[in-house]
Amino acid sequence: MKIDTLAVHAGDRKKLGNYVPSTTPIFGTSSFYYERTEDLERVFNDEMEGHGYTRYGNPTTGALEELLATLEGGDLAVATSSGMSAVHLALIAAMTDRRRSVLCAKVMYGQSITLLTNVLAPTGVDVNFAEPCDLAEFEAALAKHKPTCVLLEPVSNPLLRVAPIDKVTALAHEHGALVIVDNTFATPVLLRPLDLGVDFVVHSMTKYLAGHGDIMGGALICKEEHRQLVTVLTRTLGPNLGPFEAYLTMRGIKTLPLRVERQCQNARRVAAWLSDHPRVERVYFPGDPEHPDIETSRRLFPKDLFGGMVSFEIKDAGRDEVFAFMDALKMIVPATTLGDVHSLVLYPAISTHRDLAPKHRARIGIRDNLVRVSVGIEAVEDIEADLDQALKQ
């Protein structure tokens, strides 16, 4: 089946007794019991299908996890309370019983970098950085640092570089490293990293997967070989997503392919329009023919789909001018998220990358005049009109 069909049907409509609910119900309970205590023990021993305690599994969350695994081509999915909890869980799994060493892409979501440098590094994890879009540099870093784990995004946040995930993964495996890919920006509509040999895929489900700005959640998806370890870690650490959030996420995913296709189309038009705007200095968009990774984008993504994100620099702007631009917007929402049905704008210097020192931000190319737009499903003419009037303030 195609992803459009799988998004609607996978994981849903399980038989309960002698009937089948048309959508998965919300099982708002912390525990389950059986007529025979022996059956509860068998459930805890994984000898019988069922549920005993929601930290170990819940029917609503389980349905979502089946859907996620299907969409990403994995054997196991774990729904977590946030995207960052999924990243943390993946890093722990990738380093369990192995040398504690991570090679991370130079430009990532700021909190992922903070997790590595401010939380894991002080505990003894060796953390290093390299540019995955430069294969020679990345391979040299693999040889030098000998990491056991690689962390990167297929579309970097917020500069929208597109890494050759398949080639980076092959190099990492040659050097004995497992690979974690944060697929939040691309979604399985554009890319399925597990099909390219990646070991762990993570998402912030808050973004495109749920798609409506009403839940906080994350996900980790992997192949069978990592099932036992990830299951033990999840049950022990308890980063579980609640059943109410699971229900809303599952409902949101049913329209994921439709939403992403429209967002990609709109983003492509907005990027081209911004390129000709007199108040715009530079535009970052993976589908731009002049983009440094355009050939990688065309090779890895479906035809004419390059994601719904556009970043751009406002000419001669600093913090005050960017604030004035954002305050002048009338329809586009200035909020610290992305992937909603409505368009959003964000200032990386005070949000996604605020924990990085100004010199660090400048070194990786995040200038003080950079803004990031998550293009929604509105009429593209209305998106452009709102950006235009705000840029002219």
List the 370-374 sheet strands across, edge first. 280-284, 309-314, 370-374, 344-346, 333-334
Kindly name the residue from 34, 53, 55, 269 that is annotated as catalytic: 55
Structure tokens at 218: 């994350």
Element (H, E) at 200: strand 200-204
Structure tokens at 101: 């060493």
Q: Please name which of 66, 69, 57, 78 lies closest in space to residue 13, comparing C-alpha atoms.
A: 66
Identify whether 158 is preceded by a cis peptide bond (ω within 30 of 0): yes
Pairing of strands 309-314, 370-374: antiparallel
Task: Tell me if 277 sits within 8 A of 230, measured CB to CB.
Answer: no
Kindly name the residue from 12, 100, 182, 293 that is annotated as catalytic: 182
Residue 198, CA distances (Å) to 74, 166, 316 in order: 11, 8, 41
Q: Give every CB contact of residue 239 below 8 A, 6+ residues apart in sequence.
A: 78, 80, 81, 82, 85, 86, 88, 89, 218
Task: Tell me if 52 sits within 8 A of 30, measured CB to CB.
Answer: no
Kindly name the residue from 100, 109, 208, 262 that is annotated as catalytic: 109
Q: Give every CB contact of residue 272 below 8 A, 6+ residues apart in sequence.
A: none
Backbone angles phi, psi at 308, to 5 degrees: -105, 15
Known active-site residue 386:
no
Task: Tell me if 269 sits within 8 A of 15, measured CB to CB.
Answer: no
SS3 32: coil
User: Side chain identity at 322, as an amino acid letter?
Assistant: V
Known active-site residue 182:
yes
Kindly name the residue from 100, 161, 207, 262 that is annotated as catalytic: 207
Axis-axis angle for helices 319-328, 380-391 (nearest 10): 140
Task: Tell me if 393 sits within 8 A of 323, measured CB to CB.
Answer: no
Known active-site residue 55:
yes
Active site residues: 55, 109, 182, 207
